[in-house]
Copies of this chain bind each other. A is one copy, B any other.
Amino acid sequence: MSAQPLYEQVKSYVTDRIRSGAWRPGARVLSEHEFVRVLGVSRMTANRALRELVTAGVLSRVAGLGTFVADLPAAAQPLEIRNVAADIRDRGHFHRAVPVRVEAALAPAEVAAHFGLGISELKLFHSIIVHFENERPLEVEDRWVNPTVAPHYLNVDFTRVTPHEHLMQVAPLERVEHVVRAVAADADIAEWLDMASTAPVLLIERTTWTQGQPASFARLHHAGSRFELRGVYDV
Contacts and interface: CB of A to CB of B under 8 A. Distances in A.
Interface residues of A, number: 55
A179 B229 contact: yes
Interface stretch (A95-103, A128-136, A137-145, A166-174): A166-174
B178 A77 contact: yes
Interface stretch (A117-125, A152-160, A196-204): A196-204
Interface in A197-218: 198-203, 208, 211
A75 interface: yes
User: What is the oligomeric copy number?
Assistant: 2
Given A19-B211, A21-B171, A175-B235, A224 B183 contact: yes
Given A78-B78, A79-B79, A82-B76, A176 B232 contact: yes
A2 B174 CA distance: 25
Contacts of A233: 175-178
Contacts of A55: 55
Contact of A20 (B77, B202, B211, B234): B211
A198 B198 contact: yes
Contact of A79 (B81, B203, B232): B81
Contacts of A75: 82-83, 86
A173 B82 contact: no
Contacts of A30: none
A228 B175 contact: no
A164 B77 CA distance: 14
15 contacts: A18-B172, A19-B172, A20-B172, A21-B171, A21-B211, A25-B172, A74-B208, A77-B81, A79-B80, A178-B232, A180-B202, A182-B182, A182-B183, A182-B202, A182-B203
Given A25-B168, A182-B202, 14 more contacts: A19-B211, A72-B168, A74-B83, A74-B173, A77-B176, A79-B180, A177-B232, A177-B233, A180-B180, A181-B202, A182-B182, A182-B227, A183-B224, A202-B202
